[in-house]
Structure 1
Amino acid sequence: MSFASGVALRRAVAARPWLHKIVVPIAEKYNDLAGYRKVGLVQDDLISDENEIVQEALKRLPPKVSYDRVYRLRRAVQCSLAHTILPKEEQTKPEADISYLMPYIEEVERERKEREELDSLTRAR
């Protein structure tokens, strides 16, 4: 699934209140069971950075946000190596699990789409 289709799915669910009431509790339970919050990560930390769009989005992050991301990832690796989880007070709370990278990814995708549209324009004769 591409980022654009994921965003479209998110918008479709948000636009339908009855579907939102069904999907959101299931998604929250899934996030709790996934375990990434127990090692201090947020959902956007799980996005693979092997994609050109994500690489560009990471370059656009403010220095503090970028530093926090690296810190969380290193702490999670340390927990993984030690086969431990963080104490409850250091685990990521659901309300703190906010998207910090997706706005930049969406911006890069919009710019690339706009660039492709401009590159494909032909001059009328």
Structure 2
Amino acid sequence: MFGPLGISLAPQVRASKTLTRWIKPFANWYVNLSGYRKMGLRYDDLLVEERDDVQRALGRLTERENYDRTFRFKRASQASVLHANLPKEQWIKPEEDIRYLRPHVEEVVKEDNERKVWDAISVERRK
């Protein structure tokens, strides 16, 4: 429920077929309304980059993932300057909108938590 990227009820919703059936249409409607796919962006492109854990996760992207991310931002900014969405064939399809950055952010948070545990250990001398 509480993850490094905020509160999420998605695991509970996915666990219930009834909730999924009721909420999925609203979720799809909301994603279409937000319009980031029409600009050629993925969901993880919208994460706040000023956060320290996101910055470190961005440093862990492969060269190809980093290039693709930069290309998506340049294409979206050009579409924004022109005040128009991309052509429909260039929109991000739902099956292409994968969470490429989330695993890296979760890994960074786990490492930070582990570091806190190890830093809090007190060593005592045996008598």
Which amino acid is 1:23 matched to?
I
Distance 1:102 1:88, change over 3 A: same
1:78 alignment partner in structure 2: 78
Asked if residue 118 in structure 1 is aligned to residue 124 in structure 2, the reply is no
Distance 1:80 1:8, change over 3 A: closer
Which amino acid is 1:27 matched to?
A
- Contact kept, 8 Å, 2:4 with 2:105, in 1: the verdict is no
Give the deviation of 1:114 after TM superposition.
1.0
Higher helix share: 1
- Contact kept, 8 Å, 2:37 with 2:92, in 1: the verdict is yes
Q: TM-score, normalised by structure 1?
A: 0.88
Give the deviation of 1:25 after TM superposition.
2.5
2:54 alignment partner in structure 1: 54
Asked if residue 13 in structure 1 is aligned to residue 21 in structure 2, the reply is no
Which amino acid is 1:59 matched to?
G
> Which residues of 2 match residues 23-102 of structure 1 at below 5 A?
23-102=23-102
Q: 2: CA distance between counterparts of 1:32 and 1:78?
A: 20
Give the deviation of 1:48 after TM superposition.
1.2
Identity of aligned residues (%): 44
Q: 2: CA distance between counterparts of 1:13 and 1:114?
A: 29
Q: Looking at CA atoms only, which structure, 1 or 2, has the larger radius of gyration?
A: 2
Q: 1: CA distance between counterparts of 2:80 and 2:99?
A: 23
Runs of 4+ in 1 over 4 A off after TM superposition: none
Please give the secondary structure, in 2, of the residue aligned with 1:94. Answer: coil
Give the number of equivalent residue pairs. 124
Q: 2: CA distance between counterparts of 1:58 and 1:86?
A: 25
Structure 1: runs of 5+ lacking an equivalent: none
Give the deviation of 1:8 after TM superposition.
5.0
Give the deviation of 1:3 after TM superposition.
4.6
- Contact kept, 8 Å, 2:56 with 2:108, in 1: the verdict is yes
Give the deviation of 1:29 after TM superposition.
1.3
Q: TM-score, normalised by structure 2?
A: 0.87
